Structures are given as structure tokens and as C-alpha cells.
Amino acid sequence: MYLTVADVLADPAVQAGEPDVLVGGAALDAAVRWVHVSDSVGVARLLDGGELLLTTGAGWPFDDGELRAFASRLHRAGIAGIVFELGTARDAVPQPVVDVCATVGLALVALTREVKFVAVTEAVHHALIAAQTHALRERQHLHELFTALSLQGAPADVVVAETARALGAPVVLENLAREVIAAEGLGMPIAEVLDGRGGAEQVPVQARGVRWGTLLALPGPAHPAGRVTVLEQGATALAFGCIADGGDAEWSLLAQRAVIDDLLGARFARADDIDARLRAGGFALAERQCHGIVARGSASISELAYRARQAGFAVVAARVDDDDVALLSLPASAVLSDEMLLRIAGPDRAVFVGPVSDDVLGLLGSLRAARDLADSDRAEAGARVRRVDDRPLERLVATLRDDHRLHEHSERMLAPLIRHDQERRGDLLDVLAALVAHPGNRSAAAAASHLSRSVFYQRITLIGDLLGADLDDGETIAALHLALLARRRTAASA
């Protein structure tokens, strides 16, 4: 923590001298490490840099060339600025000194009234000591904060968020491939945060001689302990976490899960933010064919992602509930065959594939449609591929899932059955679902509902009576199927 020349000028001890800023602007932001009082022409050799020089100019030369050389020596010594008291030895600051200070951007201030330099020195030194004490307290607070996060096993996204809050500026964690593992924008759109990484301060995340990534902070306010110190504390906590998790593989899973969560709506904000996150991980949408898929059955999500990359696809994958959910990006000319999907998913797994897309909203729809199709599939486990494109009603409902008219249609058509099942703990909705899933084959529908044929037919008759509908009519069956699909989507999103 330091004071600036502007901070010193605002002090009452300096204001008593009615300061007149001769060279200011950005020069007033120079850091003041100490205050030095001297009228000597040889003072430059006694300075270490960062001092604010208080002088009356009594010992300064009068020759213009010597004055310019003297002012240049002060600048090279790294002083923060010059405060020149008028009236004691000279009535004005020598013009050659003013010219040099203006040229090199060295703060120059004239005091138009006499002040006690000892009072200025005492006030500034007290302020500097107070600032240093504050910085020490802040460093201790940071140490306690990040030590606690390390001991608690806080995940990388939590550490990144705490680092950003401590700095008051957006922070990004990247792995060595520059994939974004976690980002906290503090209200700034993530797309803007990622685009602004070029001008960010950064520190390596490493321990035991191994580097796993980089922690970056976008420009923001000064911190009492120093911005780099905050970043270093955050990087240390991240490095310990990476060691505890067994390496940066867990980071990649975290990053991909965050994108999946964002896309599915858990933290979804802007399509541009999702697109930026995907592109930062090497997942392109434009001029590609992209799909959302769901793989059901026991397997490792990391193995699925590995096999997809081996096949030449960009992939983002995460475990969601009991399924593996993935986004695939492949060349527009590639063919996503059933054999390829089963090879990527792993043995004895069912794969559900959403329609092709080439933008974020389309990819969101594809992933949701694949999940909806997986939710509707009640078949036993086993290797198979089902595509939303092969299920036109599924695709229609996925497209219209947020349209209130679709939900009104569902409630209107199914209301008598819903009331019956609620009042009598019945199973008419399940029986109807089996019927529409096996149109024209009521024996198969009865088997799917786990009822005897006679009981199944009794239920069908009751459904027809309650709805006042002909269940042998194709249009009626299609309308009921649509209503059931819409109801299931509503229940799944509730």
C-alpha cells in the first residue's frame, strides 16, 4: 500500500501552503514511498526512488543548462515529484525545471505560502505507516481466507469467486491449454471477461515444480495488500486443491460441468457468454454440426470424452443426475453414425441424440430434446441409439416446450384422467402412455403397462368414457400423445 502525490497534496499540512500544481495529470498518480527535505544540488545521489522532494531551491544553480541537468538527474533518480516552496529562497520555480518536469511527466507543485516542512514530513510518514499497517492486516486476512478455503477443500470455482471478490475485479482460471476452468465476472458478462484476458495481470498456478494453469485478473481497483499478492494467494489455494484432487483432470470436468449447467439453465444468462465459454474450450459452433446427447448406463464420463476426442470431435461432457450428458461438435461433412455413437458412449449403453444445431440456442434445444427423449424411454438397458429426428412429436414438443398453448392443450385433454388418478390413486395416465407408445398393438401396450389384457382393456374403456373420445381414432391418439409428452416436459422442468 502506498500514497500518491495527489494523496499528499490533499493532506491539510500541504493544503496550508496553498499548493499550485505546475505539472500534474497522470504525474500525480506516482507512488510516494517517503518524503525527503533538501536544497542541495547533489541530492539526486542520495535518493533511492519514490521520494517526494520538499525544497526551497536555496542551493540550486541559476544557470539554465545546469538547472535542466539537475532536474533530469532528479527524474533519473526515480523521485515521485517535487514540492517547491516559494518566497523563502526564490519567488518562482525556475522555468528550465518546469520544462523538464513537463517533458518527462514528473509532478511539480509550488507552495505559495510558507509551511513547516517538518509538519508535512510527519503527516506523510504517519500516513505511510498507517497504510503499511493496513496492508499487513489485509495480507493476514487474505492468508486466513485462502488457508481456510484450502483446508475446507473448496473447489476451484469457489476459490476463483473469492479471489474476484477480494480484488473487486473479474478473475479467470485457465489450464495450460488456455481452456477456461472457472471465471467470476462480478456482474460483467463472461464474454467480455474472456475477451479482456489480453490485458490481465496473471500469476502461475503451480506447486512442487509442476504448473497446472494460470490465474488472471482483469483491471480493477488497487488493493491494500497489492493485487499480485491477492492473485498469488488465490493461486496457492488452487494449487493445493489441484494436488488434493489428483491433478488438473478434475479441473477439466469442473469446467465442462459448469458449461452444461449454464446451458441447461442452472445459471444460464446470455447466449454470448455460453458461446464464449465454449470457444474458450475449443468447442466451435459456427459452420459445424453440433448435437446434444445423453448416454445411459454405467461408464466413466472422462472415458466418453476421451473417445469423442479420439474420434476427432470437440466435446463438453458432464454427469447430470444418473446420465452422461455431452455436447458434440464435428465437421459439417462428417456422418454421426449409430456405430460411432455407440463406440463413443461405451459398451451396453443407450444413446439419445438431439437434432443438429449451429448456435447456442439451437444447442440448448438439442440437449433438452435429447434429455426429454431419454426420460421417455422406458426400455431395459442395452446398446441402442435413439434420435429425436426419428420422433417427430418429441421434436415438436421440444421446440414448443415454452409455449403456454401447448401446456393448455395438455391440461385440457388430460384433466379428467389426472383427477381420476389423484382421487383414486389410479394408473390411467400410465395406461394411456403405454397405449400411445404402441398404436395398433394393444397386446404390446398391455405388456408394457404390466397389466393383464382384460384389465388393460377395462382401463382403456374407462379412459375413453372419461375423455369422451374414440381411442381408435388416429388423430385423437396423436393429440393425446402430444398432451402426454407436454405433461412430462412440464413435470421434468418443475
**Looking at the structure, do residues 445 and 361 belong to the same domain, yes or no?**
no
Confidence check: pLDDT of 493 > 60: no
Confidence check: pLDDT of 257 > 60: yes
Q: Which of 79-83, 244-248, 342-346, 484-488 has the highest average model confidence (pLDDT)?
A: 79-83
**CATH number for 291:** 3.30.70.2730
Model pLDDT for residues 386-437, shown as the tens digit of each residue: 898 877 666 666 666 666 787 788 788 889 998 988 888 888 988 888 888 7
Model pLDDT for residues 84-96, shown as the tens digit of each residue: 999 989 999 999 9
Contact 31, 2 (CB under 8 A): yes
Confidence check: pLDDT of 494 > 60: no
**Looking at the structure, do residues 226 and 287 belong to the same domain, yes or no?**
no
Higher pLDDT, 457 or 252: 457
User: What pLDDT sits at residue 401?
Assistant: 60
Residue 397 lies in a domain: no
**CATH number for 470:** 1.10.10
**Looking at the structure, do residues 415 and 376 belong to the same domain, yes or no?**
no
**Looking at the structure, do residues 220 and 244 belong to the same domain, yes or no?**
yes
Domain boundary residue, one of 233, 253, 273: 253
Residue 315 lies in a domain: yes
**Looking at the structure, do residues 408 and 386 belong to the same domain, yes or no?**
no
Q: Which of 232-236, 365-369, 471-475 has the highest average model confidence (pLDDT)?
A: 232-236
Q: Please report, to the nearest 10 degrees, the dihedral formed by the alpha carbons of residues 34, 40, 45, 48 taken in order.
A: 0
**Looking at the structure, do residues 27 and 117 belong to the same domain, yes or no?**
yes
Model pLDDT for residues 134-162, shown as the tens digit of each residue: 888 988 999 999 999 888 888 888 999 99
Contact 135, 109 (CB under 8 A): no
Q: Which three cell numbers stand for residue 248?
A: 488438473
Give the 3-state secondary structure of the chain. Answer: CCEEHHHHHCCHHHHCCCEEEEECHHHHHCEECEEEECCCCCHHHHCCCCEEEEECCCCCCCCHHHHHHHHHHHHHCCCCEEEEECCCCCCCCCHHHHHHHHHHCCEEEEECCCCCHHHHHHHHHHHHHHHHHHHHHHHHHHHHHHHHHHHCCCCHHHHHHHHHHHHCCCEEEEECCCCEEEEECCCCCHHHHHHHHHHCEEEEEEECCEEEEEEEECCCCCCCCCHHHHHHHHHHHHHHHHHHHCCCHHHHHHHHHHHHHHHHCCCCCCHHHHHHHHHHCCCCCCCEEEEEEEEECCCCHHHHHHHHHHCCCEEEEEEECCEEEEEEEEECCCCCCHHHHHHHHCCCCEEEECCCECCHHHHHHHHHHHHHHHHHCCCCCCCEEEEHHHCHHHHHHHHCCCCHHHHHHHHHHHHHHHHHHHHHCCCHHHHHHHHHHCCCCHHHHHHHCCCCHHHHHHHHHHHHHHHCCCCCCHHHHHHHHHHHHHHHHHHHHC
**CATH number for 195:** 3.30.450.30
User: What pLDDT sits at residue 289?
Assistant: 92
User: What pLDDT sits at residue 247?
Assistant: 60
**Looking at the structure, do residues 26 and 99 belong to the same domain, yes or no?**
yes
Model pLDDT for residues 183-203, shown as the tens digit of each residue: 999 989 888 998 888 889 999
Residue 161 lies in a domain: yes
Q: Would strands 107-111 and 81-85 be described as parallel, antiparallel, or unpaired?
A: parallel
Contact 213, 205 (CB under 8 A): yes
Model pLDDT for residues 291-340, shown as the tens digit of each residue: 999 998 777 788 888 899 899 899 999 888 888 999 999 998 888 999 99
Domain boundary residue, one of 390, 415, 433: 390
R_g of the chain computed on alpha carbons: 35
**Looking at the structure, do residues 177 and 106 belong to the same domain, yes or no?**
no
Residue 216 lies in a domain: yes
The length of the chain in residues reads 494
Domain boundary residue, one of 390, 418, 444: 390
Q: Which three cell numbers stand for residue 149?
A: 478455503
Q: Total domain count for the chain?
A: 4
**CATH number for 93:** 3.40.1390.20
Q: Which residues constitute the domain of residue 19?
A: 3-124
Residue 203 lies in a domain: yes
Residue 274 lies in a domain: no
What is the residue-averaged pLDDT of the chain? 87
Higher pLDDT, 279 or 163: 163
Residue 465 lies in a domain: yes
Residue 262 lies in a domain: no
